[in-house]
Structure 1
């Protein structure tokens, strides 16, 4: 598909991505989804390490540096600084997101949510080229004074996501600027900007999740989630 090919090339090219195995991020995550359940500081100044091939992310520096957490689709763990496992959640389910007001109150839920979210953020757009991900180009979208091209993606069950159907928006430089998806029973838009190259892979260093209105525009007053990548390496 021409648009997806352009997007992947703009982000570093598929041959380059295929040579990579691991990533390390220095990042902070904040927003009302965290603060309203008392987790305003849990994901500040974190190190996230993981695989570019499989959904696996380890967070170091939780709870003001006192704990670590590991996300895998089949298990979530919370550990102390010595590596001792404090809590485990086997075969986690996205059903916890149905509890909208306090879905992220539990540390295990928080690691699960941030694990698959960060992994999906980081591996897109290369993730969209998988043979089991179905993509189609939609009509362009006018965002303020810009025209963004769009891709609709359907994800298979073995890729953990907030919703199996998502719509991606790309600017004139083929860089991702927005992503529409379901979250906690509502429609949200993740806006991304400030793209930077790390190890020849171009990623957005800021992502902000906002609730969507019925006309497809975002409500800017309440920032549900803000992810800031301070540094990144790939190997």
Structure 2
């Protein structure tokens, strides 16, 4: 598909992506979903390390640097700084359709693991053979025209929603994603793209409520992500 090919090339190319296996991020995550659940500071100034090939992310420095948390589809753990396992959630199922589930720390790790892994692997994720994509009519976002892809993601992939719509600007960079999240209709914006080890990454991300006509509410900001640095190997 021509649009997906352009997008993959604009973000570093499939050959470069396929040569990589790991990523490391220095980031902060906040927003009303976190503060309303009592976790306003848990994911401030943390390190996220993960695999580009399988769903796996480890967060170091959560809860003010006192703990670490690890996400895999079949296990969530929270550990002390010296490696002692404090909490475990084996074979986690999907979220209840309520933001209140984030009050539980294991659910919070699950949520952030799913979120960060999918953020970092998109748009290359869309080139997988088990992902079905189709181009939709363009979208007018203010004075800009963004092209769109609708993606059907496989059930074995842990995501917030099996169907998502991705928006790309004139430079073929991802600028928005529409999907359901915790029972809400969400528009997730991304911008301030930078290149790290040959891979282009949006360093600022923000999720807001989406209206039936596709427009968004400026407030509340549900999720706010800032990536300070990234590396791939």
TM-score, scaled relative to structure 1:
0.98
SS at match of 2:102: coil
1:143-195 CA distance string (max 9 Å, x none) = 00000000000000111000000000000000000000001111100000000
State the partner residue of 1:168.
166
TM-score, scaled relative to structure 2:
0.99
Matched, 1:62 2:62: yes
1:109-164 CA distance string (max 9 Å, x none) = 00000001100000000000000000000000000000000000000011100000
- Name the Cα RMSD after superposition: 0.6
State the partner residue of 2:119.
121
Give 1:97 shift: 3.1
Question: Which residue, out of 106, 109, 117, partners 1:108?
Answer: 106
State the partner residue of 1:3.
3
Return 5+ residue gaps in structure 1 as ranges: none
Give 1:101 shift: 4.2
Return 5+ residue gaps in structure 2 as ranges: none
Question: Which residue, out of 175, 186, 189, partners 2:187?
Answer: 189
Matched, 1:13 2:13: yes
Question: Which whole-Å CA distance do the structure 2 matches of 1:219 and 1:176 have between them?
Answer: 20
Question: Which whole-Å CA distance do the structure 1 matches of 2:36 and 2:80 have between them?
Answer: 25
1:188-211 CA distance string (max 9 Å, x none) = 000000000000100100110000
Question: Which whole-Å CA distance do the structure 1 matches of 2:182 and 2:114 have between them?
Answer: 15
